[in-house]
Amino acid sequence: MADRPPGTAAVQRALEVLRDRLDARTTAFLNSCVRCGLCADTCHVYLADGEAESMPAHKVERIARFFRRHHTLLGRLAPGFVGAQTLDQEGLNALAVAAFGRCTLCGRCALNCSVGLDPSTIIRFARTVLGAAGMVPNGIRANVDLALATGNNMGISREDVLETVTWLEQDLQDTLGDPAAAMPVDRRGARVLYAVNPREVKFFPLSLSAAAMIFHVAGEDWTLTSSDFDITNYGYFAADAGAARAIAGRLVARAEELGVEELVVAECGHGYRTLRWEAPEWLGRPFPFRVRSFVEVMADYLAGGRLRLDPGKNPERVTLHDPCNLVRNGGVIEEQRVLLRAAAKDFVEMTPNREDNYCCGGGGGILAASEHTARRIEAGRIKADQIRATGAKVVASPCHNCIDQLMELNRAYKLGVEVRTLAEIVADALVLPAKPAP
Amino acid sequence: MSPTALVLLAAMFTSVAAFVVLRLRTGSTPAPLAPARGSAAVGVLYAFTVAFAPWAKESASRHLPSYAAGIAYHVAVFTALVRLVHSLFGTPLPPVVNAATAALIAVGLMAGTALLLKRCADPRLRAISVPEDFFANGLVDLTLAAAFATAMSSGALPVFQIVGAVLLLYAPLGKLRHMLFLLTSRRVLGATLGRRGVRPASHPSGTGRG
* Contacts of B26 by beta carbon, 8 Å cutoff, 6+ apart: A24, A27, A28, A31, B181, B184
Nearest Cα of chain B lies from the Cα of A115 at a distance, in angstroms, of 6
Q: What is the DSSP string of A38-53?
A: TTGGG-HHHHHH--GG
Superfamily of the domain at B3-19+63-180: Transmembrane di-heme cytochromes, Chain C (1.20.950.20)
Q: Judge whether A61 is closer than 8 Å to chain B, CB to CB.
A: yes
Whether residues B34 and A28 touch (CB distance < 8 A) is answered with no
Are the C-beta atoms of residues A14 and A92 closer than 8 Å to each other? yes
Nearest-angstrom CA–CA distance, A195 and A435: 29
Interface of A with B in 345-374 (CB under 8 A): 349, 351-357
Nearest Cα of chain B lies from the Cα of A351 at a distance, in angstroms, of 5
Nearest to A112 among B27, B57, B131 (CB): B57
Amino acid occupying residue A211: A
Whether residues A35 and B129 touch (CB distance < 8 A) is answered with yes
- Condensed to tens digits (0 to 9), the pLDDT of residues A237-282 reads 999 999 999 999 999 999 999 999 999 999 999 999 999 999 999 9
DSSP single-letter state for residue A196: B
Which of chain B's residues have a Cβ under 8 Å away from the Cβ of A35?
Answer: 125, 128-130, 133, 175
Q: Round to the nearest angstrom and report the end-to-end CA distance of chain B.
A: 59
Q: Judge whether A195 is closer than 8 Å to chain B, CB to CB.
A: no
ipTM: 0.94
Nearest-angstrom CA–CA distance, A262 and A190: 9
Whether residues A42 and B60 touch (CB distance < 8 A) is answered with no
Nearest-angstrom CA–CA distance, A15 and A9: 10
Nearest CA-CA partner of A399 in A235, A223, A215, A265: A265
Are the C-beta atoms of residues A333 and A299 closer than 8 Å to each other? no
Domain limits of chain A? 8-135, 143-303, 311-429
Amino acid occupying residue B136: A
Nearest to B34 among A58, A276, A356 (CB): A276
Burial class (CB in 10 A: 0-12, 13-18, 19+), B197: buried
Q: Which runs of consecutive H residues, i.e. helices, occur in A344-392? A: 373-379, 381-390
Q: Which residues pair with A193 in a beta bridge?
A: A223, A263
Which of chain A's residues have a Cβ under 8 Å away from the Cβ of B67?
Answer: 38, 114
CA distance to A65, A208, A428, A434, B168, per residue, from A40 (Å): 19, 39, 41, 55, 31
Q: Residue length, chain B?
A: 210
Mutation to test the A interface, candidates B177, B189, B192, B203, most A Cβ within 10 Å = B189
Are the C-beta atoms of residues A295 and A337 closer than 8 Å to each other? no
CA distance to B103, B148, B167, per residue, from B106 (Å): 5, 6, 18
Q: Round to the nearest angstrom and report the end-to-end CA distance of chain A.
A: 60
Q: Judge whether A24 is closer than 8 Å to chain B, CB to CB.
A: yes
Which SS3 state, helix, strand or coil, does residue A262 take?
strand
Interface of A with B in 80-109 (CB under 8 A): 80-83
pLDDT in the model for residue A438: 57
> Beta-carbon neighbour count of residue B176 at 10 Å?
19
pLDDT in the model for residue A433: 75
DSSP single-letter state for residue A276: I
Tell which CATH architecture fits domain A8-135.
Orthogonal Bundle (1.10)
Q: Which residues pair with A430 in a beta bridge?
A: A309
The CATH number that domain A311-429 falls under is 3.40.50
Q: How confident is the model at residue B72 (pLDDT cuts 50, 70, 90)?
A: very high
Q: Judge whether A38 is closer than 8 Å to chain B, CB to CB.
A: yes
pLDDT in tens, chain A (438 residues): 444 445 689 999 999 999 999 999 999 999 999 999 999 999 999 999 999 999 999 999 999 999 999 999 999 999 999 999 999 999 999 999 999 999 999 999 999 999 999 999 999 999 999 999 999 999 999 999 999 999 999 999 999 999 999 999 999 999 999 999 999 999 999 999 999 999 999 998 989 999 999 999 999 999 999 999 999 999 999 999 999 999 999 999 999 999 999 999 999 999 999 999 999 999 999 999 999 999 999 999 999 999 999 999 999 999 999 999 999 999 999 999 999 999 999 999 999 999 999 999 999 999 999 999 999 999 999 999 999 999 999 999 999 999 999 999 999 999 999 999 999 999 999 998 776 555
